[in-house]
Protein backbone atom coordinates (compact mmCIF):
# COMPACT_ATOMS: atom_id res chain seq x y z
CA UNK A 1 0.00 0.00 0.00
CA UNK A 2 1.39 3.37 -0.98
CA UNK A 3 1.72 5.72 1.97
CA UNK A 4 0.10 9.08 1.45
CA UNK A 5 1.17 10.87 4.64
CA UNK A 6 4.72 11.82 3.53
CA UNK A 7 3.40 13.29 0.29
CA UNK A 8 0.71 15.26 2.13
CA UNK A 9 3.31 16.59 4.58
CA UNK A 10 5.70 17.41 1.77
CA UNK A 11 3.03 19.34 -0.12
CA UNK A 12 1.93 21.31 2.95
CA UNK A 13 5.44 22.28 3.99
CA UNK A 14 6.52 23.07 0.46
CA UNK A 15 3.54 25.43 0.23
CA UNK A 16 4.53 27.03 3.55
CA UNK A 17 8.09 27.49 2.36
CA UNK A 18 6.99 29.11 -0.89
CA UNK A 19 4.55 31.34 1.00
CA UNK A 20 7.37 32.45 3.30
CA UNK A 21 9.60 33.20 0.33
CA UNK A 22 6.83 35.22 -1.34
CA UNK A 23 6.40 37.21 1.88
CA UNK A 24 10.06 38.21 1.72
CA UNK A 25 11.20 36.11 4.65
CA UNK A 26 14.41 35.06 2.91
CA UNK A 27 15.62 38.65 3.18
CA UNK A 28 14.86 38.69 6.91
CA UNK A 29 16.86 35.49 7.46
CA UNK A 30 19.69 36.87 5.34
CA UNK A 31 19.80 40.15 7.28
CA UNK A 32 20.09 38.25 10.56
CA UNK A 33 22.63 35.78 9.17
CA UNK A 34 25.08 38.36 7.80
CA UNK A 35 25.25 40.23 11.12
CA UNK A 36 27.35 38.87 13.98
CA UNK A 37 24.87 37.33 16.43
CA UNK A 38 26.00 38.66 19.80
CA UNK A 39 23.56 36.39 21.64
CA UNK A 40 25.05 33.33 19.91
CA UNK A 41 28.61 34.20 20.89
CA UNK A 42 27.70 35.06 24.49
CA UNK A 43 28.05 38.81 24.36
CA UNK A 44 24.44 39.92 23.82
Site residues (CB under 8 A) for other proteins? 5-7, 9-10, 12-21, 23-30, 32-34, 36-44
Instruction: Report the distance separating Cα 33 and Cα 22, nearest Å.
Output: 19
Minimum gap (Å) between residue 23 Cβ and other proteins: 5
Minimum gap (Å) between residue 11 Cβ and other proteins: 9
Minimum gap (Å) between residue 20 Cβ and other proteins: 3
Instruction: Report the distance separating Cα 24 and Cα 4, nearest Å.
Output: 31
Amino acid sequence: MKRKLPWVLLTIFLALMVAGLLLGEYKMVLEKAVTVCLDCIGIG
